[in-house]
Structure 1
C-alpha cells in the first residue's frame, strides 16, 4: 500500500531573492528527525505536479520527465527507515526496500563524505538515460544531446530542492561524487535507471 504524503504548501514563502542569497551547502547535520511535512514539500519542489496538464515543478526537454526519485529515509518522523520511491501523480511514497545497515550509505560516496550517513534522508535522483538519449539521437552530437538534457534537468531539480530547503530552514548538499554501481544496488534501481545525483537533507547542526 502506498503512503499518501501531506498536502504541500502553496502559500507565499520567503522571497526568491532571499532564498537565492542565503542558499548554502550544508554538510553538518544534527541527529534530529525531520517532519514528514518537510519531506513532502521537498519532493513536491523536486518533481511535484504543478498543473492540470501534468506539468511538473522541474522543466524537462520534450516533456519526457525521465527523472525518478528514490529516497533513503534515515530519520523522518512517522516514517519507517528504508528505501522509498516517490510517485508524483499521487504525491505518495512506495516502500521498495528495508532499512539500510549502518555505514552502507556512507560507502556510496567517492572519498569520505560523512554527510551521506548523517543526513535525515537522501534523495536519489535517477533517470531513464537511455530512453532520453534515443529520443534525441537525431540531434548532434549524436548520443550526447539527450544525456546533456538529463543532467540539465537534474541540476534544475537540485536547485529547486536547495531553494526550498533554504525557505524551510533545513540543510542540504548535492553529492555528485558517488559510486554508480553501489548506488544502483543500494537504491534497488531497475536496469533502465541510472543515478544522476544524491541530495542530502537534514536538520542543521547549528540551527
Structure 2
C-alpha cells in the first residue's frame, strides 16, 4: 500500500469564518479543472486534522474517542493516481487502498446523482459506532452522527474559503459504498461529499 505525505495545511488566511458562512452553498456543477494535493490536504485537515499534541482534532468528539474515518475517491488530481485513499490525521498522510477511478461506481451507489462522479474527488465520511457505544451505549449513536455533521461542515466551510464547490450527499446504498471502499460492516458510510472547481457567480 502506497502512503502519500500531504503538504502542510495552511493555518491562517485572509478569508474570515463569517465570509465562509455567508458564501457557503451547495454546488452540483463542476469544471474539469484538476485538484492539487494541497487542496486535498487542506480539506482533510479541516475535517479531521490534529490540532493539539494530545491528539485533539478540528471537530469535537464525545469522550475524544474519534469514531470517524475519511476516504478520498480521487479521479482528477495532479500528481495523484486515481484511486481510493484513507486519511491518517495523526501523520497527515493518505494511504492508497485501491487503484482506479471509482467515481462512476460511487455515482451508481448514490442513485445516479451525477455530481458524485463529476467532481475532481469525492470525500466519504464513515463512522465506527462501536468506538463510542462501548462507553456511552445507544446514546453514542447520536454522538457519532453529530460528529459527522461537525466534520462535514468544517470541510464545506474550508472549501468555500478555497473557492471549491462541494455538496453533501446522504442518499446512497450503504452496502455498495462499503463494497467500493473495501470496508467491513462495523464501518457505516455517513456522508458523500463530491468536490471540484466551479464557475463562481457572485450572489
TM-score (norm 2): 0.94
Rounded to whole Å, the distance in 1 between the matches of 2:178 and 2:140 is 21
Alpha-carbon offset, residue 180 of structure 1: 0.3
Paired residue for 2:172, among 178, 182, 187?
Answer: 178
8 Å CA contact 1:72, 1:82 repeated in 2 = yes
- For structure 1, which segment, 96-105 or 26-35, has the greater mean C-alpha deviation from structure 2 after superposition? 96-105
8 Å CA contact 2:103, 2:116 repeated in 1 = no
Match of 1:34 in 2: 35
Rounded to whole Å, the distance in 2 between the matches of 1:51 and 1:101 is 34
Unaligned runs of 5+ in 2: none
What is the correspondence of 1:1-207 to structure 2 with a 5 Å cutoff? 1-100=2-101, 103-110=104-111, 112-137=112-137, 143=138, 145-206=139-200
SS at match of 1:90: coil
SS at match of 1:103: helix
Q: 1:135 to 1:177 in 2, by over 3 A?
A: same
8 Å CA contact 2:28, 2:165 repeated in 1 = yes
Structure 1: 4+ residue segments shifted above 4 A: none
Alpha-carbon offset, residue 205 of structure 1: 4.1
TM-score (norm 1): 0.92
Rounded to whole Å, the distance in 1 between the matches of 2:100 and 2:199 is 23
Deviations 1:13-34 (A, max 9, x none): 3111111010000000011111
Rounded to whole Å, the distance in 2 between the matches of 1:113 and 1:95 is 25
Rounded to whole Å, the distance in 2 between the matches of 1:101 and 1:123 is 12
8 Å CA contact 1:184, 1:195 repeated in 2 = yes
Unaligned runs of 5+ in 1: 138-142
CA-atom RMSD, angstroms? 1.4
